[in-house]
Amino acid sequence: MQQESLPDILDHGLQVVFCGINPGVDAAAAGHHFLGRGNRFWPVLHLAGFTPQLIAPRDDRSVLGYGLGLTVAVARPTRGADEILGEEFARAASALLDKLEWYRPRCIAFLGKAAYQGITGKRQVEWGEQAERLGGARVWILPNPSGLNRGFPLERLVEAYAALKRSL
Domain assignment of residue 131, given as a range: 16-167
69 backbone dihedrals φ, ψ, rounded to 5°: -135, 165
Q: Would residue 8 count as lying in a domain?
A: no
Q: Would residue 1 count as lying in a domain?
A: no
Q: Would residue 11 count as lying in a domain?
A: no
Q: pTM of the entire structure?
A: 0.94
pLDDT in tens, 19-72: 999 988 888 889 999 987 789 999 999 999 999 999 999 999 999 999 999 999
pLDDT band of residue 152 (cuts 50, 70, 90) is very high
Q: Give me the number of domains the chain comprises.
A: 1
Read off the CATH number of the domain in which 53 is found.
Answer: 3.40.470.10
Q: Would residue 7 count as lying in a domain?
A: no
Q: What is the reported pLDDT for 1?
A: 42
Q: Would residue 160 count as lying in a domain?
A: yes
CB atoms within 10 A of CB 49: 14
Residues 21 and 156: their CA atoms lie apart, in Å, by 20
pLDDT band of residue 87 (cuts 50, 70, 90) is confident
3-state secondary structure of 109: strand
Q: Find all residues with CB under 8 Å of 23, minimum gap 6, and list them.
A: 5, 6, 33, 72, 75, 77
Q: Would residue 6 count as lying in a domain?
A: no
Q: Would residue 157 count as lying in a domain?
A: yes
Q: Would residue 46 count as lying in a domain?
A: yes
Q: Which of 51, 62, 60, 68 is nearest to 33 (CA)?
A: 60
